[in-house]
Amino acid sequence: MLELDGLHKRFGDVTALNGVSFTAKPGYITGFLGRNGAGKSTTMRSVFGLVNLDAGEIAWDGRPVDAGAMSRFGFMPEQRGLYRKMPIAKQVAYFAQLKGLDRRAADDAAAQLLDELGLGDRLGDKLEALSHGNQQRVQLATALAHKPDLCLLDEPFNGLDPSAVRVLNQYLRSLADQGRAVLFSSHQLDLVEGLCDEVVIVDDGVIRATGSVVDVRRTPGYSVLSLAFQSTPEWAQLANEGFTATGTRTGAVRMDNPEQLPHLLRLAGEAGALTTFSYDLPSLSNVFEEVTG
Amino acid sequence: MTNTTTSREVTQPNVMGDAALVFRREFLSRITSNIFLATFAFALAMIIGGVIFFKVMQETDSDTVGLVGDQPAGAAEALPQLAEDAGFGAVEVETFDSREALEEAITSGDVQVGVVDGDELVVKTNEGTLPGFLALIWKEARVAELVNSPDFEAGQQQAVASATSELPLTELEPDPESEAKAGVGIALVVMLFLTIQLVGSMLMLSITEEKGNNIVELLLSSMSAKSLLLGKLAANGLVGLIQVVAMIGTTIVAVNVADLADIPTIPSSLLLVALLWFILGFAFFGVLIAAAASLAPSQEDAQSVMTPIIIVLLIGYMASFFVTANPGGSAERIVSLLPFVSPFVMPARFLSDELPIWEHVLALAIAVAALAGALQLGSRIYTRSVIHTDRKLGWLEAFRAEPVR
């Protein structure tokens, strides 16, 4: 298990990390969520010693992270970068060797993983010959070819189209199912909500919420009632009661207590003909807005 | 939360193992790069072409014989035909007004042999068989002139002895190899400078590529900055070493095989001396180039941070010409001991025979000490600045920064 405890880091007058503490467990996908500049990348880089922390401790399986532990970590930095003129299989194998695999094992692992990622027929191609999406896959492969116990992926969904997002979701799930700890950062909360087992929400270098997705969604202490109308309702009338329009014929309202349900449904019915309604915990985006003000 | 089981061993980075992997990738990448292959082929072609050119020029050039003062009758007129018959090829005859003018033409190489007042030969350096051939013709002409003289009478032993006496030979530059060795020495300086400069540029590009493409972050998540630096220096150094061996080896073989006149046989030990100084020179400049390159976030910014290193490199290069012009001079000997000069010029001094062993050892000791300092400084700067891909760092800022990995 990866444990971060009280991480502090200042860059000049800017406080990047202000007591960041959380864990990433084997077999779990942990989403590290926050706006751009919230401190996600600084935290992830600090795991590899790429940032000199002012204070705080980072441990893996109860021990401070050392070179041996780092060789069991895989990293996909936010700033992507690989050798443009190097064949992709050699490139992935090179980074696997740097993580401790011997040459043959690294070659085999690189070929296998690239094949799994759909690049089996491009092994000898130089990176620059690949499309942006395929270059992203190679970047992922360099992070994971040595089968790390901890997969640290900084904004892995950046620049991916919906089908690539789906493939990556499935792949990350398979890694967690194999017992690996997966920690990824993202600022696209809705995109990753269904993927995470646990989430950590960070803002201005401070952890605002952490726990299982359900627990974090319970944090604000209310539910959201969603409604659909046959035709456009009287939004002005509903707005006075706290309803917000999410479309021309759909809307939502915060429900602090389940006992409010009949009352709210009655108000909605007076404003227009209801077709469907549902209520659920607030989305991660709602929670994020709530906890970060 | 942090570890309390301190009895468990902390795993240290495998600096040498990681450096070996970097070395392998970097070496294969550089040795197969177009820039290296093109430069390598060009350099070898220039060397071989140059040697062939000199050989052809020497074989096809006509010789010129310069005359000043009275000459035995018929000697000059008969010389061209006699020389051609004897296999000397085309020989031209030119008359000078004074001995000074003749000697100037001999020194500059326009005239190969001079004859003064019919009884003295003047050459730049006594070599080849043309002076001996001339002496023979002149003696015969003097004898014929004496015998055909209306005043000649039998029994004039003294006059006959004088006519058949050897023509004294004056050499203007008795050491034929000093100039040629200086020429080879300059060629050595140029080869070492160009190689260090070329390989240094490849090293700089390699470092700025990794910074500009953000590869360095991924690399440093797997190894220490020290491993990365070590592997890069060793790989680029070996590429340079191969280039130096090829260039000097080709020069030695080509010159010795072509057996060019005026050019001395080059001792094979020169290759070892040149290699030793290349290693010291590249390590010294290489680690400083690596440090400078690590300050820049991209190749565009690299030129400005490289300027101080380039200036030192050029000063060392220019100073080497000052030394090779007069390798035995006191000031030249002192300048050649400077650690940014010695790698270029010491092989040339070794070739010139103007290098006492103690001076060579002293120069090596100074170079090794300077290298130790450069390695300390360079690795300190590199390990502190290479991770900063967002902006350009100053030397002082990098020196004071905390190391990463």
Inter-chain CB proximity A50 and B14 less than 8 Å? no
Note the Cα B180 to chain centre separation in Å.
Answer: 12
Sequence ranges of the domains in chain A: 2-218, 223-292
Residue whose structure tokens are 């926050």 = A34
Q: Is residue B405 part of a domain?
A: no
B170 and B183 part of one domain: no
The answer to whether A91 and A82 are in contact (CB under 8 A) is: yes
Q: Provide the pairing of β-strand A250-255 with A181-186.
A: unpaired
- Chain A closest CA to B38's CA: distance in Å? 18
Which residues have CB under 8 Å from A216's CB, separation 6+? Answer: A199, A201, A209, A210, A284, A287
Residue in A63, A83, A86 closest to B5 by CB: A63
- Chain B closest CA to A278's CA: distance in Å? 43
- Chain B closest CA to A38's CA: distance in Å? 18
Q: Which of B140, B157, B174 is the last residue of a domain?
A: B174
B43 and B68 part of one domain: no
Q: Which residue of B has its CA nearest to A87?
A: B29
Q: Summarize the confidence of residues B102-106 as an average pLDDT.
A: 91
A73 touches chain B (CB under 8 A): yes
CATH number of residue B101's parent domain: 3.40.190
B29 touches chain A (CB under 8 A): yes
Q: Cα separation of B43 and B159, whole Å?
A: 61
Res B268: pLDDT: 76
B35 and B86 part of one domain: no
Q: pLDDT-based confidence at A151, cuts 50/70/90?
A: very high
B98 and B39 part of one domain: no
Which CATH number is A223-292 given? 3.30.70
Angle subtended by helix axes B176-212 and B15-31, to nearest 10: 110
Q: Any alpha helices (H) in B4-74, and if so which ranges?
A: 15-31, 34-60
B220 and B134 part of one domain: no
- Name the phi and psi angles at B109, rounded to 5: 95, 0
Res B154: pLDDT: 65
- Taking contacts as CB-CB distances below 8 angstroms, the residues of chain B near A52 are 402, 404
Residue whose structure tokens are 């031209």 = B92
Res A32: pLDDT: 94
* Nearest alpha-carbon partner for B239 in B389, B20, B15, B29: B29
Which residues have CB under 8 Å from B166's CB, separation 6+? Answer: B135, B139
B45 and B80 part of one domain: no
Write the ipTM: 0.86
Q: Is residue B265 part of a domain?
A: yes
Inter-chain CB proximity B10 and A59 less than 8 Å? no
Q: Is residue B12 part of a domain?
A: no
Tally the C-alpha atoms within 13 A of residue A104's C-alpha that lie toward its C-beta.
0
* Nearest alpha-carbon partner for B202 in B238, B246, B227: B238
First and final C-alpha spacing in chain B: 23
1-30 in chain A: CB under 8 A from chain B: 3, 5
- Asked whether residue A289 carries a pLDDT value surpassing 50, the answer given is yes
B404 touches chain A (CB under 8 A): yes
User: For A12-58, how does the pLDDT look when each residue is reduced to its tens digit (9 = 90+)?
Assistant: 889 999 999 999 999 999 999 998 889 999 999 999 999 989 999 99
User: For B277-290, how does the pLDDT look when each residue is reduced to its tens digit (9 = 90+)?
Assistant: 999 999 999 999 99
Q: How many CB pairs under 8 A join A and B?
A: 88
Residue B144 burial by Cβ neighbours in a 10 Å radius (0-12, 13-18, 19+): middle
Which residue out of A92, A98, A107, A144 would a mutagenesis test of the B interface target, given it has the greatest number of B Cβ atoms within 10 Å? A98
Inter-chain CB proximity A57 and B2 less than 8 Å? yes
B202 and B285 part of one domain: yes
Beta bridge partners of B114: B66, B122
Residue in A68, A81, A85 closest to B214 by CB: A81
Domain residues for the domain of B366 are: 18-54+177-400
Inter-chain CB proximity B213 and A82 less than 8 Å? yes
A163 touches chain B (CB under 8 A): no
- The mean-pLDDT minimum among A175-179, B165-169, B208-212, B237-241 falls in B165-169
User: For B13-22, how does the pLDDT look when each residue is reduced to its tens digit (9 = 90+)?
Assistant: 688 889 999 9
Q: Which residue of A has its CA nearest to B219?
A: A95
* Nearest alpha-carbon partner for B375 in B309, B288, B277: B288
B283 and B159 part of one domain: no
B253 and B351 part of one domain: yes
Inter-chain CB proximity A48 and B3 less than 8 Å? no
Which residue out of B33, B213, B215, B298 would a mutagenesis test of the A interface target, given it has the greatest number of A Cβ atoms within 10 Å? B215
Inter-chain CB proximity A75 and B404 less than 8 Å? no
Q: Is residue B2 part of a domain?
A: no
Inter-chain CB proximity B216 and A99 less than 8 Å? no
Q: Which residue of B has its CA nearest to A5?
A: B1
> Quick one: residue A127, left, alpha or beta (phi over 0 = left, psi -120 to 50 = alpha)?
alpha
B357 and B254 part of one domain: yes
Q: Summarize the confidence of residues A205-211 as an average pLDDT.
A: 92
The CATH architecture to which A2-218 belongs is 3-Layer(aba) Sandwich (3.40)
User: For B26-54, how does the pLDDT look when each residue is reduced to its tens digit (9 = 90+)?
Assistant: 999 989 988 889 988 988 898 888 888 87
Number of compact structural domains in chain B:
2
Q: Is residue B273 part of a domain?
A: yes
B119 and B146 part of one domain: yes
Q: Which of B174, B194, B209 is the last residue of a domain?
A: B174
Inter-chain CB proximity B215 and A81 less than 8 Å? yes
Q: Which residue of A has its CA nearest to B220?
A: A50
Q: Which of B174, B191, B210 is the last residue of a domain?
A: B174
Res B5: pLDDT: 36
- Asked whether residue B89 carries a pLDDT value surpassing 90, the answer given is no
Q: Which residue of A has its CA nearest to B17?
A: A98
B257 and B299 part of one domain: yes
177-236 in chain B: CB under 8 A from chain A: 209-210, 213-223
